[in-house]
Amino acid sequence: MTVLRPGVARREAVLGTTLAVGLVLLALLSVGVGAYHIGTGDVVASVAHRIGFGGHRLDRVGESVLWDVRVPRVVLAVLVGASLGCAGALMQGVFGNPLAEPGVIGISSGAAVGAAGSIALGLGFAGNWTVTVCAFGAGLLTVLAVYGLSRSGGRTEVVTLVLTGIAVNAFAGAAIGLCVFYADNAQLTEITFWQLGSLSQATWPKVLAVLPCAAAGLAVAPFFARRLDLLALGERQARHLGVDVERMRLALIAVVALLTAAAVAVAGIVSFVGLVVPHLLRMAAGPGHRFLLPGSALGGAVVLVAADLAARTLAAPAELPLGVLTALVGSPFFFWLLRRTRGRQGGWA
């Protein structure tokens, strides 16, 4: 059992509470803002009425906009952001590398190839789950390939990891290009959605389709927190302390693939959330995974709800692609992180 110093526990509690309150406030703001404005008081009243705590119904248009368009979109943003944030924290713990992230090392692109391929080929073997299953399979194969190729001498090197990600992303881009070449107009529109990332097609069925994958991954991840802390001491030390390192890595690789596939299957490629959020939390609260894993899920949800709100409003009435927006913000952070890592290590080795 991990014993936390009072100062660390207090800092984690304050940060967790701040993120939770921020998420609630952002969600309330997001469901009200748009071409059809709904006041925060009306949002609260409608929610209270739905759950049986008084309040009142809105007019027919207001109820439809709120519950059929805005709320499923915000719920989907929470699920996708939480999945990507938690997946990023797990990747960094599994690889023992601060540069690991599903988008940077190609897992998101690999999952998108599975989704785009299923669309272009018109597959339907699993009904509404077909795209999710294909994204999961492709994401799992990608993460296994990255894991195998980035290992050298029993450890994962920064240069190997980044270069492997570049190669995987390039290959995935070519594969998606082939899907685009052979797709018809309707399929082309869907594939473009995967490449740019968006929550504009959010519906309750999509929320229900991704919920089991995201919930399973997010529920399993915290059980590995202590073992990830031990792994941070080094593989040999972790083994001496009773951790089956390879079995844990394989299990967490599957969890990361599940979380990433769940996100990609409904939102397309949304990069850098899993890189930025865990680092900000690690700077604020320390490296302990007991807080970092759930905190990254909560922080990822906050970031993606905020990013989706910005995507809907910055260029209104047009809508910015969500993946483009997160990449524009995340890329400078990644560059800073590369420089910081190089400066601390005295080189790229």
Q: What is the DSSP letter of 36?
A: S
What is the tens place of the pLDDT at every residue in 102-155?
887 788 889 889 989 998 998 888 887 788 788 888 988 888 888 788 777 766
pTM of the model: 0.88
> CA torsion angle for 348, 327, 26, 102 (degrees, to 10)?
-60
d(CA 319, CA 198): 9
User: Residue 320: in which H helix or E strand, if any?
Assistant: none
For the segment(s) 6-345, the CATH number from 1.10.760.10, 1.10.3470.10, 3.30.420.40, 3.40.50.300 is 1.10.3470.10
Beta strand ranges found along 18-139 (DSSP E) = none
> Mapping DSSP to helix (H, G, I), strand (E, B) and coil, where does residue 155 land?
strand
Q: Per-residue pLDDT tens for 242-296? A: 888 878 888 898 899 889 888 888 888 898 899 889 988 988 888 899 999 999 9
Distances (CA, A) of 97 to 161, 223, 341: 9, 20, 10
CB 86 within 8 A of CB 77: no
Tell me the residue length of the chain.
349
**Which amino acid is residue 277, in one-letter code?**
V
Percentage above 90 pLDDT, the chain:
33
∠ CA 37-39-43 to the nearest 5 degrees? 110
